Each structure stands twice: as structure tokens, then as C-alpha cells.
Chains A and B, each alone.
Chain A
């Protein structure tokens, strides 16, 4: 078995769709820079895609010392097996001690495969990282049980230490186009790889509403909204603010709004600058999906509602009296 001390360096596996980098990649470079500097090693990024040389430069500007690029028409779209084989082959060759990617639909699909190939452990959906410098162990902080519990996970024996990390919890460094870094060909023979699955086509989300996972401002309605028609109050407010509409599971299960809007453990995890919870009690499973938002504003009739324990601004009152008036104010714009 390989010696733990043979492994050095911090790696971020970047993510791109349609030749646009996912912002989580920049955030992870920010955190990765900090970890690499503490450990006194280089920070590298792995980039896969077709004609992605320009993106490699961006990764350098955001903090990478080295970018390994696998550029191949076969990598134009995400493929679980190709992504796995490229990253596993590279990592087996260069032996980084830490590899992190975003806890996105893509990252969470292929990283488990990589971890098995590398005979390494994997910690999902981390929200923080610390270092135990003595043993060079990465302490991986993550929520479990829908956020009722936080756990610190370690991979004491095996290397690399692998994690997927949550979007919008780490801060990217400021982009610096003058930063120097090397961009190298990954040297992986993608043409020879024969995956048993193929990408066929992409169907963009037909909805015209703003995707809540990406939105900077979200207003969500819960059971307190009381009905599908009443949801107009939430939607009108969202339209006036220019923000996305979310919902609690109770509202989704009641059929007032589609599942794609659900925030929480079994819905989407969001981390906007503003999250407004209207008529939502704040059950742990809901909090799990939104508590890392920058500013939480809650409107609820019940002063004891747990949502107030995570809110920065609280209004104890009736949504139907307050929100329409607020919407009017915003429309008037003064």
C-alpha cells in the first residue's frame, strides 16, 4: 500500500457546463488556497471539457497554481465514467493529499466512483474544512440528519482525502488576471476510454421562473400561506423584489407549488443573500436547506416558531396583512 507521506498537494476538481465554470469552483479555489498555504503545498485544479483552455486561465486567476486540462470532444458533456476515469488516473499519478469538488448534481454523481477507484474515503456535502496539522488530516465538517446534527469527519489512514463541498458557503478570492500559474495537459488518453453510458441531449428547465439554487434572493411560502390561490401574495412580492420563489415541503405536498421549488433536506439546498420565510415554522428539515443564507427574514404569526432562531430579522405577524402592503411599497419605490 502507498505511504501516506507520498501524497502531497491540494486539488480542486472544477466544474463546467456549456463551457462556463460553475461558481462553486471559484469558491473551492478560495478555500483550497487557504488549505494549501497552511500545508505548504501547491493548489491545483483539474478541468475537463471540450475547448476549455480559456477556462483554465480563469482558474489560475482565481487561485490555482497548476491546472491539469483534459480537453477532448468526448468531454463536451458530463459523463460519469469518463469524468471518473480522468480524475482517478490523474490522482493516481500525481498523488494529491486532498481532492475536493462541488456537492452539485455532477460532483455528487461521479466523486463516489472516483473514491472507490482510488480506494479512498469520501465525505459528502461539507460546509467547512479545518486542518489537523500534526497528522495533515483534513477535518471535514458536514450536517447530517437534515441538519439536526453536525459531524466532523476524518480520513486518518487513507489518501487522498476526498470531499464534495456545498455551493455558496466558501468565499472566492478576488479575480486576479495577473496571477501566474501553469496550465498543463492532463496527459490522459480519453480517446481510448470506452464508457458504457452516453450523453444524448439536454433539456433546459422550461420554467421561466428563477432557479432557486442560483438565486441571490428567495422568498418562500409555507403552510401558513394556506392555499394555491393565496400563493399569489408570495409571487407578487417576488415579482416586485425580483427574487425567486421557494416553498416548504408542506406547501409542496399540498400541491400549491411544484416540487422544483422545495427548499430543504429533500428539496434544494439554497444559500442566497436574502431568504424570506413566509408562514414557515422552520422545521429542521427546512432549516437544513436554507440556514446558510446570508440574511434570513421570517414573517410568522407564532413568536415561538423555530424559524426565528435562525432569522436575522423577524416579524411576528400575519403574512396577508404585511406582505401585500410591503409589495405595494416596493412597487411605488419609495
Chain B
């Protein structure tokens, strides 16, 4: 079984600062982490391998510094990692990123491709399904449990708003996973030692036989026209207070009634 996991390096959103002049994020100062959802995708890939045999290859498209993140995946137990890094890819939107990831998966070969539900920088959740579309592969998004899987097909549970859909699909298949699916393992000592020595191969657009006209900021269909930080004003809230907690509760009650929330 060939298992590919796509992981993204994202700015550490707990630490994000905004440039007051331009209204854009100061990515440089934020530090980077592995997209939290992608840890669950790696873990599920490792579990599939433990069950069915095969290899787990972790793929990321990004800057050279993403190599460190890929080494974490090696430390967790992934067999191989590939960094897709090329200046021509810079500024790709989800349409272009998915194309490049699809070409990478084609080159690697795949039975199951795993994605995190969404990346916490853009929050689009589009790259998984879009990659599936380029590969003309079936997809099961928001997977919270793999019920059964063999060389030919998979039965998985997907998290919908009103409950769970159970879906069967033939392999090769693309899955995007949610947090409920597992509890990601930490890097093992043995894994860390291997990661230390592991040289992450870097591929360019040429290595995946990618078409230059399909990638990069110029060819991405969507453009950021403008970005800004939402202004939040203190002092807009109507403050309710009383002499003691009981009086405050009373006043809050009256307010909720006035607003029509209590009869």
C-alpha cells in the first residue's frame, strides 16, 4: 500500500502580529509550525501502514525551511519525505497548489492520499478535494473513522453537520481527516535519530513534470485584492453591573428579557 500524506507549514497563529501600516501579517516574526490538522493525517497514514503494510511518504510544498517540519514526520515514523520547492510555485492559490500536489502524487504513486481537514492559515479546506479532482480519484472528506480498508476499497465515516455519513469508495482514494479520527503519536527516539540523518529530497517543478502555466501567483485564478485586520472596539459593550451579584443577575435578566431572549 502506497500512502502519501500532504502536510503544510503554517505561521504559528498563537503568535501572529499584524503590520499596522499595511494591515498584513508579519509572517516572519510568527515562527512556523506544522498545520495542526496534518498531524492527524500523518498518524492515520502510519496506522494504515501498520495494518496493511507499505510505505508512508510525506509531501509538502513550501519554502526550504519546511524540511524541519518534514523531519518531524520522519521522527513519527514516516518512511520518506519530499519537499516540493520552486520559485515558480510561489504565491500559488489552492487551485495551483492542488495541481502541483497532484503531479507530485502521480510521480510518487499512491493508493491512499491523506490531507488534514484544513490549513489554519487560509482555512480553505480546498486543497484535498481539489487534488482529488485533478487525479480524478474519489474522495471522502471530514473522515472521523476508517471502518474497513483493503487493497481495493475503503469504508469510512465522515463528519457532517447533522451526524455521520458512511461512504464506500474504491482505491486509489483521497481522504481529508478531522481531529476525532485519532490521537497523534509523538516522535519516537529511534525516529528522531533517523530524522537527524535523513536528507529531505527537494523536488522542483521539473521533477514532477509540472506545467509552469498552471502554478504560481501569476497563474492562480484568485487574487487577494486587499487585506485588513478587523477593528474591534472596546467600550462598545453595554456594561451591566449591580451592587452585588444578585442585583447584577437581576439586571442581566431584565436585559435578556428586553432583548426577547427570555419570555
- A interface residue numbers (CB < 8 A to B): 17, 77-78, 80-81, 84, 104-106, 108-113, 115-117, 120-125, 139, 143-158, 195-205, 211, 213-214, 217, 241, 259, 265-266, 273-274, 284-285, 295, 297-298, 306, 308-318, 321-323, 325-326, 329-330, 333
Contacts and interface: CB of A to CB of B under 8 A. Distances in A.
Given A149-B227, A266-B36, A329-B253, A144 B123 contact: yes
Contact of A145 (B16, B127, B160): B16
Contact of A322 (B18, B224, B234, B245): B245
Query: Which A-B residue pairs are the 4 nearest by beta carbons?
Result: A121-B221, A321-B245, A325-B249, A116-B133
By CB atoms of chain B within 10 A, which of A109, A122, A147, A308 has the most? A109
A303 B90 CA distance: 43
B199 interface: no
A278 B187 CA distance: 37
B165 A123 contact: no
Contacts of B233: 309
A298 B158 CA distance: 34
A115 B248 contact: no
B139 interface: yes
Contacts of B158: 105
Interface stretch (B52-60, B72-80, B92-100, B201-209): B92-100
B13 interface: yes
Contacts of B98: 112, 116
Interface stretch (B41-49, B63-71, B104-112, B235-243): B235-243
Contacts of B223: 153-156
B123 A198 contact: no
Nearest to B240: A315
Given A198-B168, A298-B237, A313-B240, A148 B18 contact: yes
A241 B262 contact: yes
A12 B241 CA distance: 46
A151 B229 CA distance: 9
Contact of B167 (A120, A198, A217, A306): A198
User: What DSSP secondary structure best describes chain B's contact surface?
Assistant: mixed
12 contacts: A80-B140, A108-B125, A116-B130, A117-B133, A121-B220, A151-B225, A151-B227, A211-B162, A274-B259, A314-B237, A325-B250, A329-B253
B218 to A, nearest CB: 10
Given A80-B141, A105-B142, A285-B13, A112 B133 contact: yes
A146 B125 CA distance: 13
Given A274-B259, A325-B245, A113 B130 contact: yes
A124 B120 CA distance: 13
B120 A266 contact: yes
Contact of A195 (B23, B134, B138, B142): B138
A310 B222 CA distance: 30
A106 B120 CA distance: 20
Given A200-B168, A309-B234, 9 more contacts: A113-B133, A122-B94, A148-B13, A195-B138, A199-B166, A202-B163, A259-B180, A309-B236, A317-B241
B141 A108 contact: yes
A164 to B, nearest CB: 9
B126 A333 contact: no
B222 A122 contact: yes
A322 B243 CA distance: 12
A143 B123 contact: yes
A30 B166 CA distance: 33
A312 B123 contact: no
Given A17-B162, A109-B129, A153 B262 contact: no
Contacts of B24: 149
Contact of B163 (A152, A205, A312, A326): A205
B248 A155 contact: no
B129 A113 contact: yes
A148 B224 contact: no
A333 B233 CA distance: 34
By CB atoms of chain B within 10 A, which of A84, A297, A314, A315 has the most? A315
B146 interface: no
B94 A105 contact: no
B101 interface: no
B122 interface: yes
Given A145-B121, A211-B161, A309 B232 contact: yes
B138 A121 contact: no
A266 B225 contact: no
Contact of B162 (A80, A84, A204): A204
B164 interface: yes
A124 B119 CA distance: 12
Given A197-B138, A326-B253, A145 B259 contact: no
B168 A197 contact: yes
Contacts of A214: 161
B198 interface: no
B185 interface: no
Contacts of B261: 217, 241, 273-274, 295
Contacts of B141: 80, 105, 108-109
B170 A152 contact: no
B179 A196 contact: no
Contact of B222 (A77, A123, A203, A321): A123
Given A144-B123, A149-B18, A265-B120, A199 B245 contact: no
Given A112-B129, A153-B222, A312-B237, A105 B161 contact: yes
A2 to B, nearest CB: 14
